[in-house]
Amino acid sequence: MLAVTEPGVHVITAMVCTQLMKTALIENTVGYFMHLDPCPQLLVQPKDEAVEAFSKERITPLIRSTPVLRKLVGTKKTRSAEETLTYKAYPGGFLAMVGAGSPDNLARRPVRNTYYDEVDKYVITREGDPIGLGDERQATFAQYLSLRACSPTISGESRIEMSYLEGDQRQASVECPHCGHRNFLEFFRHVQWDTDADSGIHNPKSARIYCEACGAGWSEGERLRALQTTRWHQTRPFLCCGKHQDPMAAYEEEWRNPNSSPNAADPVAMIWDWWASDRHAVYRARCCDCGRWAVDNEHASFTASKLFSPWPKDAPPKIAAKWLAAKDDPDLRVVFDNTQLGKPHKRQAGKDLKAEALASRAEHWAADVPDGVGVVTAGLDTQDDRVEIEFVGWGTNEESWTLGYVVVPGDTSTEEVWTEVDKQLLRIFRRADGREFTVEAACIDSGGHRTQEVYRFSKARLGRKVWAIKGAKEQGGQRAPVWPTVKPSNRARAQFRPVMIGTNAAKDTIRARLALPEPGPGFCHFHAKRELGWYEQLLSERLTEAAIAAQLLPATPGWRHTPPGFISVDPDKDAKADLANLRMGKVTLSELVEERGYDYVEHLARYAEDLAAAEEALGPGVMFDGDPRKQLKPSAPESAADNDPDAAANAA
């Protein structure tokens, strides 16, 4: 695997089917750095037992059977008391092997290279994510390498899938021995077998790869020859020159409908530049306008199926037989996707909820907000090139109305997009009787590529209850509860953390609600303005996030639906009651302020500003009613500000 020595690469992810490449990749990389570029290395296995097994079965034979390593590792010069099964020293470094469940071991000494094997089996400990803990050890090395490998599990819950998606998403192509066309081999696309027309009986033995361009079937010999031509391509979609570009889609378009440009004979060259030396080789994705290599290679991520395996036991007929045995059993399908295709298994989400059926029950309502809504929340979905916002109104018993769907286009690593998003979140919604509603809470998923931007945005708006959320890790099919048991507080500001959410359980809840037949508790109302495409992505993040935002709100005042024309509170009495409670010491100023959704720290800063301005205007010694210092000096003179409504509101 040449990515190890590719200039610029610091993180490598291999999301591959079982047995293929993975172990060999780790062995070869460890051996390379022992011999040619010695440095401290850390290898992490999911469990302590796996560490010993890996050392005995992989590392020891690797050293014994490689003469140059035999001379370097564990010789008299480096042998020390520390030398054990899980610690190998050599001139210029060592290889330490630890279990992911032992965070102490992960954090012990600085290392330059970290290797994480079987990452989907790691357990997150109280100390944190093993990958994060291990990578922290690399802080002092400029030339660090972090390598993660695993076959994936369930889509959306698989850590190796997340890591793959964070990288440049390399996929492999091979040349057709008949026409030279490069095929990105995929089981469901390229493998076919005979089925008896009358009996419907499958004959997996006849399975072979068929070229998508010339249609020729490949013999096993031709497949093995084709594998010799394997090349990797960056396939991650990107935004450049204002255009959203998807290399795989562009390639498909290019070879199916060749245009008349000089490169038309070579569709690969239309999309990618071959970048190679004796130390690296990869097709870099190129912007179709400016020609720049638009996808960074700092994180090289790979995926491959068994179709790329040279072993006879992985030949197409064997894979086809496994598919036929698995296709009607949901559990076996997961295993097939993971171990044969090297792909995370996609749960059949909302299969029975047809978009048309949902669209057919859409309603009209006057004004932005129908009668029945008490609270408005928003859910935000952040993509590289846009932010999508869903506004949802909530009534009693979580009956909901989708009030609006807005797309804010633009590069989400820039400030402009977020300014526009903020404007949207400050939008005013009106009911037919004129009552105004603003967004009371919003949730943004902080997963994906824009974690830091999302943190920054929501951190600055905690007082407005704009929360960053993060899907809780789910393991062994065990779902995290939907809603966190602890509500986020403004105090979380100092040590900012996203709110952990059981996203999958939340989606299940919403899926169940969409299936409700008639209005009532939990029912979802849709406005007739929505297009069919909107229903098709109904189960995407935004609706879930808006629901989460509603759930994180305190269940009291604003939550109850107030019928039109009836005003439930007397601001004057409320302020007086607050003041009386404050003086009696029943509540603190910070509680009062935070109850109203303001950030206490920001509030204090503004308070100080107001006080300074008042002193400048009225002279020194001004003190507003409700000033905490006033309680210590009950005889302090009342100032003119006492009767100033602004100051009273400020104090409350």
In angstroms, give the least distance from the CB of 314 to Zn ion: 22
Taking CB under 5 A as the binding criterion, the range among 92-100, 177-185, 373-381, 419-427 that sits at the site for Zn ion is 177-185
Q: Which two tokens stand for residue 643?
A: 């009767």
Between 129 and 246, name the residue whose CB sits nearer to Zn ion.
Answer: 246
In angstroms, give the least distance from the CB of 203 to Zn ion: 23
**Greatest alpha-carbon span in the chain:** 101
| DSSP string of 345-402, one letter each residue | BPP-TTTT--HHHHHHT-B--SSSB-TT--EEEEEEEE-SSEEEEEEEEE-GGG-EEE
Between 238 and 607, name the residue whose CB sits nearer to Zn ion.
Answer: 238
Residue from 43, 100, 145, 176 in contact with Zn ion (CB under 5 A): 176
In angstroms, give the least distance from the CB of 217 to Zn ion: 10
CA atoms within 13 A on the CB side of 184: 17
Q: Is 181 in the site for Zn ion (CB under 5 A)?
A: yes
Range list of β-strands (E), 431-585: 436-445, 466-471, 499-501, 524-525
Taking CB under 5 A as the binding criterion, the range among 172-180, 304-312, 431-439, 626-634 that sits at the site for Zn ion is 172-180
Taking CB under 5 A as the binding criterion, the range among 5-13, 236-244, 382-390, 517-525 that sits at the site for Zn ion is 236-244
In angstroms, give the least distance from the CB of 205 to Zn ion: 23
Q: Is 241 in the site for Zn ion (CB under 5 A)?
A: yes
Angle at 35 between CA 33 and CA 36, to 5 degrees: 70
Per-residue binder mask for Zn ion (CB under 5 A), 362-401, x = binder: ----------------------------------------
Match 């009911």 to its residue by tokens.
Answer: 431
In angstroms, give the least distance from the CB of 478 to Zn ion: 44
Helix axes 541-552, 503-514, angle to 10 degrees: 100
Q: Is 570 in the site for Zn ion (CB under 5 A)?
A: no
Between 252 and 602, name the residue whose CB sits nearer to Zn ion.
Answer: 252
In angstroms, give the least distance from the CB of 218 to Zn ion: 9
Q: Is 250 in the site for Zn ion (CB under 5 A)?
A: no
Taking CB under 5 A as the binding criterion, the range among 239-247, 449-457, 497-505, 544-552 that sits at the site for Zn ion is 239-247
Between 217 and 558, name the residue whose CB sits nearer to Zn ion.
Answer: 217
Other CB atoms within 10 Å distance of the CB of residue 14: 28
**Cβ atoms of residues 82 and 108 within 8 Å:** no
3-state secondary structure of 11: strand
CA distance linking residue 510 with residue 349, whole number of Å: 11
Report the 3 state secondary structure along 396-433: HHHCEEEEEEEEEECCCCCHHHHHHHHHHHCCEEEECC
CA distance linking residue 5 with residue 18, whole number of Å: 24
Other CB atoms within 10 Å distance of the CB of residue 585: 8
In angstroms, give the least distance from the CB of 234 to Zn ion: 15
Between 106 and 211, name the residue whose CB sits nearer to Zn ion.
Answer: 211
CA distance linking residue 319 with residue 342, whole number of Å: 12
Identify which of 372, 366, 465 has the alpha carbon closest to the alpha carbon of residue 425.
465
In angstroms, give the least distance from the CB of 439 to Zn ion: 36
Total count of residues recorded for the chain: 652
Q: Is 240 in the site for Zn ion (CB under 5 A)?
A: yes
Between 287 and 406, name the residue whose CB sits nearer to Zn ion.
Answer: 287
Between 287 and 492, name the residue whose CB sits nearer to Zn ion.
Answer: 287
Angle at 34 between CA 30 and CA 38, to 5 degrees: 120
In angstroms, give the least distance from the CB of 195 to Zn ion: 23
In angstroms, give the least distance from the CB of 290 to Zn ion: 3
Q: Which two tokens stand for residue 391?
A: 């506004």
**Cβ atoms of residues 650 and 607 within 8 Å:** yes
CA distance linking residue 543 with residue 537, whole number of Å: 10
Between 241 and 613, name the residue whose CB sits nearer to Zn ion.
Answer: 241
Q: Which residues pair with 171 in a beta bridge?
A: 233
In angstroms, give the least distance from the CB of 408 to Zn ion: 22
Residue from 211, 375, 376, 647 in contact with Zn ion (CB under 5 A): 211
Between 129 and 296, name the residue whose CB sits nearer to Zn ion.
Answer: 296
Residue from 179, 366, 515, 532 in contact with Zn ion (CB under 5 A): 179
Between 248 and 355, name the residue whose CB sits nearer to Zn ion.
Answer: 248
In angstroms, give the least distance from the CB of 18 to Zn ion: 29
Per-residue binder mask for Zn ion (CB under 5 A), 283-322, x = binder: ----x-xx--------------------------------
Between 9 and 285, name the residue whose CB sits nearer to Zn ion.
Answer: 285
Q: Which residues contact 622 (CB under 8 A, 6 or more apart)?
A: 611, 614, 615, 639, 641
Q: Is 178 in the site for Zn ion (CB under 5 A)?
A: yes
Q: Is 428 in the site for Zn ion (CB under 5 A)?
A: no
In angstroms, give the least distance from the CB of 238 to Zn ion: 9
Site for Zn ion in 589-648 (CB under 5 A): none
How does DSSP classify residue 289?
A: T
In angstroms, give the least distance from the CB of 240 to Zn ion: 3
Taking CB under 5 A as the binding criterion, the range among 233-241, 441-449, 553-561, 563-571 that sits at the site for Zn ion is 233-241
3-state secondary structure of 245: strand
**Cβ atoms of residues 48 and 13 within 8 Å:** no
| DSSP string of 99-128, one letter each residue | ETT-HHHHTSS--SEEEEESGGGPPPBTTB
Between 297 and 339, name the residue whose CB sits nearer to Zn ion.
Answer: 297
Q: How many residues bind Zn ion (CB under 5 A)?
A: 12
Q: Is 242 in the site for Zn ion (CB under 5 A)?
A: no
CA distance linking residue 68 with residue 66, whole number of Å: 6
In angstroms, give the least distance from the CB of 223 to Zn ion: 12
Between 211 and 480, name the residue whose CB sits nearer to Zn ion.
Answer: 211
CA distance linking residue 217 with residue 191, whole number of Å: 9
Between 174 and 240, name the residue whose CB sits nearer to Zn ion.
Answer: 240
Residue from 24, 85, 214, 613 in contact with Zn ion (CB under 5 A): 214
Taking CB under 5 A as the binding criterion, the range among 23-31, 158-166, 280-288, 415-423 that sits at the site for Zn ion is 280-288
Binding site for Zn ion (CB under 5 A): 176, 178-179, 181, 211, 213-214, 240-241, 287, 289-290
